[in-house]
Structure 1
Amino acid sequence: MSDKYSIDNPLTLTVGNEQLIIRRRYEVISIINDFFIALWFLSGSVVFLYPSLEKVAIWLFIIGSAQFLIRPTIRLLAHLHIQRAPDSR
């Protein structure tokens, strides 16, 4: 295989150890956020079955919807954090 293919291979990714740690931490935060979004919407759906608890269900949906705003915020913070990380090369 020539050097051209080993250098220009789009599947080759070189990142520093610190960048990998940063990415993993933000990924875990994102997964936890997604878990809570699912929990709010599932709870809201079940509570919605009881007419007397309709307001509680609505608030659970509002909380879940607001938490959807957290997802892009986590991604943006991760991106900014990685940009500030020192280059390992």
Structure 2
Amino acid sequence: MSVNAYDQHQQKRNEYVDSQMAKHNRFYKDIYNILYTLNDFTIAVWFLIGSIFFYFESLKTWGVTLFVIGSFQFLIKPTIRLIHEVNARKHYGTEYDQLMK
């Protein structure tokens, strides 16, 4: 395959993947929005309870623990989104390659 033909194939492949991702994102958007909202809500709960615990000396350790749990949940959201995006793009790229055989 010549360089120009390869570039055209790659461009068409990328266009196919992008169009499939647009459909994919619409289909899964509602599910992920619900999960993200639940995640955000629980983060807020952990931080609110943790903040209240700081008013009481005997509960400060639990307050810090809730802050750590909430902070960990902040890492979960973009990690899930990134893994999902990479895997979906890989899937649609492979699908395109299979269609072009």
> Is the shorter-chain TM-score for this pair beyond 0.5, marking a shared fold?
yes
Query: More helix per residue: 1 or 2?
Result: 2
Counterpart for residue 55 of structure 1:
61
Q: Quote how far apart the aligned CAs of 1:19 are.
A: 3.7
- What secondary structure sits across from 1:49 in the alignment? coil
AA partner of residue 73 (structure 2):
Q
Unaligned runs of 5+ in 2: 1-18, 97-101
Counterpart for residue 79 of structure 1:
85
Q: Quote how far apart the aligned CAs of 1:81 are.
A: 5.1
Q: How many residues align?
A: 73
CA displacement, residues 12-36 of structure 1 (integer Å, 9 cap, x when unaligned): xx743x5422122112111111111
Quickly say closer, same or farther: Cα 1:82–1:25, change in 2 above 3 A: farther
Q: Quote how far apart the aligned CAs of 1:82 are.
A: 4.1
Q: Quote how far apart the aligned CAs of 1:74 are.
A: 2.2
- What secondary structure sits across from 1:55 in the alignment? helix
Quickly say closer, same or farther: Cα 1:71–1:77, change in 2 above 3 A: same
Q: TM-score, with normalisation over the residues of structure 2?
A: 0.60
